[in-house]
Amino acid sequence: MNRKVWGIILAAGNSRRMGKAKLLLPYKGKSIIRHVVEQSLTSKLAGITVVVNPGIPELKTEASVPGVDKVMLNEKAGQGMSTSIQTGLLSVPANVSAVMMLLGDMPLITSLEINKVIEDYCKQTTFPCIVQSSYKNQNGHPVLFDRNLFSELYKVTGDEGGRSIIKTYKHLVYYSYMEKEMASDIDTQLDYEKLLREERG
């Protein structure tokens, strides 16, 4: 069955561990956030919202590319990832069946992983459900939440994001198995240096 899935790119973190605006760091001639946005745009997502930190004005510019439906400022970014999720949900149209959460600091994510999660969601017959990407028993992003769980997403607090919902409703989780290791997020300077080393081969 064809169901509309909306992407929410979470890009409002304060980069505390990095010490600078990590999403603006260059990778292969583009910013990290631009890689995530462009891969999302080439996927089967019905629409895309990018949630950014108003304290980093350049992020809004980097995210505002043709095809992105909405760039939203999270005025409560300092209160954790949950506020970015809830800010993004406000932009989701009523005819959308589910949302997919994508992290803005995963420059190696591709439209293939995004589409795999969407395709597995469209095969589901039991609702509500959660579809989470997985590789060799390591579960991560992207992760999709059916519309019937939106009310639960509005209840999360702090930096827990969707983890608490996945834990509470683990019986509703379907794992979307990936053929390759999932893209790592870039949290520290060491993570970024590793990314650049891999780029150089």
User: Considering only CA atoms, which of 62, 190, 166, 45 is closest in space to residue 109?
Assistant: 45
Which tokens go with 123? 């095969």
Instruction: Identify the residue whose tokens are 């509703």.
Output: 172
Partnered with residue 101 across adjacent β-strands are 8, 143
Find how far residue 35's CA is from the centre of its chain. Answer: 12
Domains defined along the chain, listed by start: 5-200 (3.90.550.10)
Lowest mean pLDDT among 2-16, 106-120, 122-136: 2-16
Handedness of CA 189, 192, 194, 200 (dihedral sign): negative
Handedness of CA 117, 118, 123, 125 (dihedral sign): positive
Total length of the chain = 201
Q: What is the pLDDT of residues 76-108, one digit of tens each?
A: 999 999 999 999 999 999 999 999 999 999 999
Contact between 43 and 7 under an 8 Å Cβ cutoff? The reply is yes
Rounded Cα gap, residues 5 and 98, in angstroms: 5
Residue 35 confidence (pLDDT) above 90: yes
Predicted pLDDT at 124: 96
Predicted pLDDT at 186: 86
The backbone torsions φ and ψ at residue 94, rounded to the nearest 5 degrees and listed phi first, read: -65, -25
pTM exceeds 0.75 for this model: yes
Q: What is the pLDDT of residues 2-34, one digit of tens each?
A: 899 999 999 998 755 555 689 999 999 999 999
Predicted pLDDT at 195: 85
Instruction: Identify the residue whose tokens are 């520290």.
Output: 188
The backbone torsions φ and ψ at residue 153, rounded to the nearest 5 degrees and listed phi first, read: -65, -30
* Cα dihedral 132→135→139→142 (10° resolution): -40
